[in-house]
Amino acid sequence: MTEKPDTHSKVIGYLLWIFGFLGSHRFYYGKPITGTIWFFTLGLFFIGWIIDLFLIPSMDREASRRFQEGEINYNICWILLTFLGVFGLHRMYMGKWITGIIYLFTGGLFFIGVLYDFWTLNSQISERNNEVRLG
């Protein structure tokens, strides 16, 4: 039995955890509902944020089981979204040039598109990796 590849990185998870009181690490690991709750409550008033320090290894394992590995690297894409999302670089990296250029000229489609990508980026990457793999 082969072990499923590691699609997400604990190092990136912990890097995003530093900003985790805004939910960024939870979005990264495919937990958009709790990511949104963390965003609006500052990591459940910092208590949930501190607890997450110990939960990141299990969130990392779960994400690696859920999402499809492939040509598009989750870590690169999430770093681009988190720090440069309004410029659409994460979309261009995925090969979504038209929406990437739209994001570039509209500030991430007036930031609403960036929020949408925080909710759906893992699924978008999995779908693209599956398309590339299947041809």
Over residues 4-35, the pLDDT tens digits come to 678 999 999 999 999 777 899 999 999 999 99
Q: What is the pTM of this model?
A: 0.89
pLDDT of residue 2: 57
Is the distance from CB of 86 to CB of 92 less than 8 angstroms? no
2: left (phi over 0), alpha (psi -120 to 50) or beta: beta
Burial class, 121, CB count within 10 angstroms (exposed 0-12 / middle 13-18 / buried 19+): buried
Residues 56-82 have a mean pLDDT of 94
Is the distance from CB of 73 to CB of 93 less than 8 angstroms? no
Is the distance from CB of 83 to CB of 112 less than 8 angstroms? no
pLDDT at 54 over 90: yes
* Residue 97 neighbours by CB distance under 10 Å: 11
